[in-house]
Structure 1
Amino acid sequence: MNAAALLHLLQFASPALPIGGYSYSQGLEAAIEGGLVHDAASARDWMARCLDEVMAHWDAPLLWRLLKAFEARDAAAIALWSECYLASRDTAELRAETVQMGYSLARLLAELGVADVAPLGAGQGTGQGAAQLADTSLPAAFACAVDALDIPHEEALLAMLFSWLENQVLVCVKSVPLGQVAGQRLLLSLRPDLERAAALARTLPDEALSNWSPGLSMLSMRHEVQHGRLYRS
């Protein structure tokens, strides 16, 4: 991996990227509210299970397919896997999360001159660009950035998983609360889990993909009406 690609990856996978990632917890805030996550051990268990049961079997494999679809310039595959991801967001807040962040990242890419939004489904010459861009999923926008910046796919997949994990740790540091050192210890201890999730995502066949996580969906539904919440999901 050359220096330019590494620096691009560090920029576009960073939680500091202005697309609003810090404002979402992806159900974790509801788990903390319900007492399912209450200390470092339970936080680690939550993240490890989400990595294994959700990220490795759905989010990461879909990103991997989108990366390959962009590489092949396969517009039909890009649309298919992005639509599958949107359809898998089974609560209003989870769908709003990926649509808002996907829209923000796609707009950022266009404004920076990194990539045209057209590969994400925005119509050229149809007057429908803004409306279609509004339904861009975050994985599709991220895959577009990776392709435009010539970032290696394996490293991009790991970076996406690490960015998700880092955000989950930050939620726990703020809301459990955990100390900063405990948060960094969690990141270190979950490195093998990240590597396994990435390895599985690269090899999982289409028929084995699954977003079956009813407990997480129910927590997200509860979070939508949770009183005094800090996060948008």
Structure 2
Amino acid sequence: MTDQSLLTLTQWLSPAFPLGSFAYSHALELAVTEGVVSDGASLETWLTLTLQKGGGRVDAWLLSMVVQGADVEEMAALAEALAGTRERWHETYEQGAAFARTVAQMGGSQAPARALPVAVGVAARALDLPVKTVISLYLHSFTSNLVSAAVRFVPLGQAVGQTVLSNLHSVIAQVAEEALAATEAGLTTGAFAADLMAARHEDMDVRIFKT
């Protein structure tokens, strides 16, 4: 592992990288509106399940398979098939397109628009980094964005948000470790409440977030 590669990945996954991540709540907006998430404890529960059984798990497994050499087009198609709602697909595809475009503008390889974990996985193949490190930092970025959305919308204090994120480090490490052995046959999801929230979010009369 080289410092240069680690810094590059950190830059790609930082809030400053222009993906528009701040505009997406991954259905968290509706969960907050309906009182399902109302404080630090309920946010931590929601995000734990998202990481272990929902979008976090799906992204981790797709990312792992791509970095480890899986067929990119097959993974891109699988990512679309696994998007439970139109909003979920737009969320991952739009950010993936922004990621690929920005990496190319920085001098990296040109790549077509694909779901975010697939796009990051393709780019990360060129980095001298352990696969678990790539997955862990990706999941940390994913979780950080949702914590930030909750801090703004619940609202939560910054200290509460950072405590939740810190408490989730062990969950992130566990999900990343499990994703190392990812296969298409083993990729399942079970965050049904979050999927339903995502579908219903599309019909909210007033929305702050895109998803």
TM interval, shorter chain, is over 0.9
Would the alpha carbon gap of residues 149 and 15 (structure 1) be closer, same or farther in structure 2, given more than 3 Å must change?
same
Task: Give runs of aligned pairs for residues 152-163 of structure 1, distance below 5 A.
Answer: 152-163=130-141
Superposition deviation, residue 56 in structure 1: 5.8
Would the alpha carbon gap of residues 36 and 232 (structure 1) be closer, same or farther in structure 2, given more than 3 Å must change?
same
Whole-Å separation in 2 of the counterparts to 1:35 and 1:10: 34
Amino acid at match of 2:108: V
Mark the runs of 5 or more structure 1 residues left unpaired by the alignment.
Answer: 118-132
What is residue 123 of structure 2 aligned with on the other side?
145
CA contact (8 A) 1:54 1:213 kept: yes
Whole-Å separation in 2 of the counterparts to 1:83 and 1:189: 33
TM-score, scaled to structure 1: 0.85
Superposition deviation, residue 59 in structure 1: 1.8
Whole-Å separation in 1 of the counterparts to 2:199 and 2:56: 23
Q: Percentage identity across aligned positions?
A: 31
Cα shift readout 1:194-219 (whole Å, capped 9, x = no counterpart):
11111111124432211333322210
Superposition deviation, residue 108 in structure 1: 1.1
What is residue 34 of structure 1 aligned with on the other side?
34
What is residue 102 of structure 2 aligned with on the other side?
108
CA contact (8 A) 1:115 1:148 kept: no
Would the alpha carbon gap of residues 175 and 56 (structure 1) be closer, same or farther in structure 2, given more than 3 Å must change?
closer
What is residue 46 of structure 1 aligned with on the other side?
46
CA contact (8 A) 2:30 2:197 kept: yes
Q: Would you tell me which structure has more helix in proportion to its own residues?
A: 1
CA contact (8 A) 1:5 1:150 kept: yes
TM-score, scaled to structure 2: 0.94
Would the alpha carbon gap of residues 201 and 55 (structure 1) be closer, same or farther in structure 2, given more than 3 Å must change?
farther
Amino acid at match of 1:157: I
What is residue 150 of structure 2 aligned with on the other side?
172
Secondary structure of 2:74's aligned partner: helix
What is residue 8 of structure 1 aligned with on the other side?
8
Whole-Å separation in 1 of the counterparts to 2:103 and 2:63: 18
- The answer to whether the aligner puts 1:215 opposite 2:193 as a matched pair is yes
- The answer to whether the aligner puts 1:226 opposite 2:204 as a matched pair is yes
Whole-Å separation in 2 of the counterparts to 1:28 and 1:203: 29
Would the alpha carbon gap of residues 159 and 14 (structure 1) be closer, same or farther in structure 2, given more than 3 Å must change?
same
Superposition deviation, residue 227 in structure 1: 2.3
Task: Give runs of aligned pairs for residues 76-87 of structure 1, distance below 5 A.
Answer: 77-87=71-81
Mark the runs of 5 or more structure 2 residues left unpaired by the alignment.
Answer: none
Whole-Å separation in 2 of the counterparts to 1:57 and 1:207: 14
Secondary structure of 2:17's aligned partner: coil
Instruction: State how many pairs are aligned.
Output: 211
Superposition deviation, residue 169 in structure 1: 0.6
CA contact (8 A) 2:66 2:72 kept: yes
Whole-Å separation in 2 of the counterparts to 1:182 and 1:18: 26
Amino acid at match of 1:26: H
Amino acid at match of 1:68: Q
Q: 137-146 vs 55-64, which deviates more?
A: 55-64
Secondary structure of 1:206's aligned partner: coil
Q: 209-218 vs 38-47, which deviates more?
A: 209-218
Amino acid at match of 2:185: E
CA contact (8 A) 2:29 2:209 kept: yes
Superposition deviation, residue 144 in structure 1: 2.0
